[in-house]
Amino acid sequence: KPVVAVVGRPNVGKSSLVNRIIGRREAVVEDVPGVTRDRVAYDASWQSQEFTLVDTGGWETGVSGLAGVVAGQAEFAARAADAILFVVDATVGTTDADEAVARVLRRSGKPVVLAANKVDGELQEADALALWNLGMGEPFPVSALHGRGTGDMLDAVAAVVPQTPEREEDEDEDAPRRIALVGRPNVGKSSLLNRIAGEDRVVVDATAGTTRDAVDEIVELGGKPWTFIDTAGIRRRFRALQGADYYATVRTSQALDRAEVAVVLMDVSEPLAEQDIRVVEQVVESGRALVLAFNKWDTLDDERRYYLEKEIDRQLSRVSWAPRVNISASTGRHVERLVPALETSLAGWDTRISTGRLNGWLKELVAATPPPVRGGKQPKILFATQAAARPPQFVLFTTGFLEDNYRRFIERRLREDFGFHGSPIKLTMRIRE
Ligand code: GDP
């Protein structure tokens, strides 16, 4: 989601305008400089364009003097945002602080929409026009109080922010979810597919233009259809096409490209191999939801079981969040448990947290466990937003570098508190220098 920062000096009506845009769904406190807000970021949308609206009014800048403070806020906002909504009080006209902001914004090269606020009636229309002198393009006369003109202003905002990509969810809600069944040779992929789908399954969907001879099969599992991707790469009769290790890796990556969730199959009758770990890493990097399936469980004795636990702890700790199922493709043991595991992973992968909820949560988390001091300074987390789902991606806006440990802590708590089980999470920072 693109970030739109609302900048301007105090009392021009930034908070009221934010309230107007988000439809007063969330409270915003008084516009007092130097006061850190409870929340500064909100989900907003106009027509079908979605964006995160950030009220910069409460940010401390460490600069003194009104013009300096406001310009400092604008400078950081411009760095962190995709577009700027610059609010000026039309009834007051251009002040030194407004001009300082305009200079900063022009230098930033970011798209700016100029809102001339407090145009409550025809009397102030001329005042709005006078704001052309800021050199920020056309002033949009608005009244945050009455809502007047905000539609045109938002049209202008929507026109300058990067387009919201077509949501994948809208693609086809009812289409079967797409599974890539992956793992090194001989772990039992074709046995498992045969167990689930049967030997003589009719080929239902040949996909052109991807892997040569890629064949997807729709398979019923737990009373629901699922698409298994590139089953031609798995089915025994095509095995000759697979060739060397390299082609298996390429085939896996092409299957992952089209998949939503991957089942990584491993063979418990042998020690976990480097190749197993590589496949798991390939899945994590692809950003697909993940289920770990341990096959040939029928061969397991107590001794092997003991070592297996150790191997899993040691080699798969990076994906300790992924659901695991212990199965036997030969006997059919617990194969049906793949379904709840797939559903758990996909649910996390699909999750979108609203910006309001995310920041409420973050505020409590940071209050209870603040980021460690670094170089004598306490980094502050200004706000966070979920930039995307599938896989979930979060952006943290901070005043300083957060240590890896602390980032991992945030990631772990995100997983626990919002139920991101089985999905990789991407967490990035944007730092105000
Ligand atoms: P793929 O290369 O991953 O498709 O693996 P295959 O399905 O061809 O299986 C490799 C070998 O493992 C075959 O000899 C299978 O019979 C055997 N196998 C597969 N699943 C199981 C299982 O659950 N238990 C046991 N004991 N053997 C299995």
Superfamily of domain 174-349: P-loop containing nucleotide triphosphate hydrolases (3.40.50.300)
For the Cβ of 231 lying below 6 angstroms from any atom of ligand 1, the answer is no
Q: Please tell me the distance from the alpha carbon of residue 8 to that of residue 142, in angstroms, as a whole number.
A: 15
Report the pLDDT value the prediction gives residue 210, as an integer from 0 to 100.
47
Q: In this predicted structure, what is the pLDDT of residue 36? A: 41
Tell me if 298 CB under 6 Å of ligand 1: yes
Tell me which fold the domain 3-160 belongs to: Rossmann fold (3.40.50)
Distance CA 285, CA 27 (A): 39
Q: What separation in Å is there between the alpha carbon of 330 and the centre of ligand 1?
A: 7
Q: How far is the CA of 295 from the centre of ligand 1 (A)?
A: 8
pLDDT for 32 = 44
pLDDT of residue 15: 84
Ligand 1 pocket check for 279: Cβ under 6 Å: no
Q: Within 13 A of 135's CA, how many CA atoms are on the CB side?
A: 10
Instruction: Report the residue among 182, 186, 238 best suited for mutation to probe ligand 1: largest number of ligand atoms under 8 A from its CB.
Output: 186
Does residue 188 have its Cβ closer than 6 Å to ligand 1? yes
Q: How far, in Å, is the centroid of ligand 1 from the Cα of 283?
A: 22
Backbone angles phi, psi at 182, to 5 degrees: -130, 165
**Considering the domain 355-431, what is its CATH architecture?**
2-Layer Sandwich (3.30)
E strand spans, 355-407: 381-388, 393-398
Cβ–Cβ < 8 Å for 230, 180? yes
Distance 422 CA to ligand 1 centre (A): 25
Nearest atom (ligand 1) to Cα of 327: 23
Q: Is the CB of 323 under 6 A from ligand 1?
A: no
The answer, yes or no, to whether any atom of ligand 1 lies below 6 A from the CB of 359, is no
The verdict on the CB of residue 296 being under 6 Å from ligand 1 is yes
Which residues in the chain land under pLDDT 50?
27-38, 202-204, 206, 208-211, 240-242
Q: How many residues does the chain have?
A: 433
* 191 Cβ below 6 A of ligand 1: yes
Q: How far is the CA of 247 from the centre of ligand 1 (A)?
A: 20
Token pair for 300: 């397991």
pLDDT for 350 = 94
Residue type, 255: A
Nearest CA to ligand 1 atom 7: 188
Q: Is the CB of 338 under 6 A from ligand 1?
A: no
Q: Can you give the pLDDT at residue 300?
A: 95
Cβ count within 10 A of residue 404: 8
299 CB near ligand 1 (under 6 Å): yes
Token look-up 């096959």 returns 295
Residue with tokens 């700790």: 317
189 in ligand 1 pocket by Cβ < 6 Å? yes
Residue nearest to atom 19 of ligand 1 (CA): 188
Q: What is the CA radius of gyration of the chain?
A: 27
Write down the ipTM of this complex. Answer: 0.94
Q: In 10 A of CB 258, how many CB atoms?
A: 17
> At residue 121, what is the residue type?
G
Q: Which pLDDT score is estimated for 185? A: 87
Does the CB atom of residue 197 touch ligand 1 within 6 A? no
Ligand 1 nearest atom to the CA of residue 184, by list position? 3
- Is the separation of the CB atoms in 83 and 160 below 8 Å? yes
| Cβ–Cβ under 8 Å, residues 391 and 423 | yes
Alpha-carbon span 142 to 343, nearest angstrom: 47
Question: What is the pLDDT, as a whole number, of residue 199?
Answer: 62
Cβ neighbours, 10 Å, residue 187 = 26
Which of 182, 190, 191 to mutate for ligand 1's pocket (most ligand atoms within 8 Å of CB)?
191
pLDDT tens column, 159-172: 998 776 555 555 56
Structural domain spans, the chain: 3-160, 174-349, 355-431
415 touches 423 (CB < 8 A)? no
pLDDT in tens, 401-416: 899 999 999 999 999 9
Q: Which residues of 18-147 form beta strands (DSSP E)?
A: 41-46, 49-55, 83-89, 112-117, 139-141
Q: For position 242, what pLDDT does the model report?
A: 47
| pLDDT (0 to 100) of residue 204 | 46
Q: Is 187 in the pocket of ligand 1 (CB under 6 A)?
A: yes
Domain 174-349 matches domain 355-431 at the CATH topology level = no
DSSP output for 283-305: HHHHT-EEEEEEE-GGG--HHHH
Q: Residue 41 pairs with which residues in a beta bridge?
A: 54
Residue pair 376/367 in contact by the 8 Å Cβ criterion = no
Strand partners for 116: 88, 141
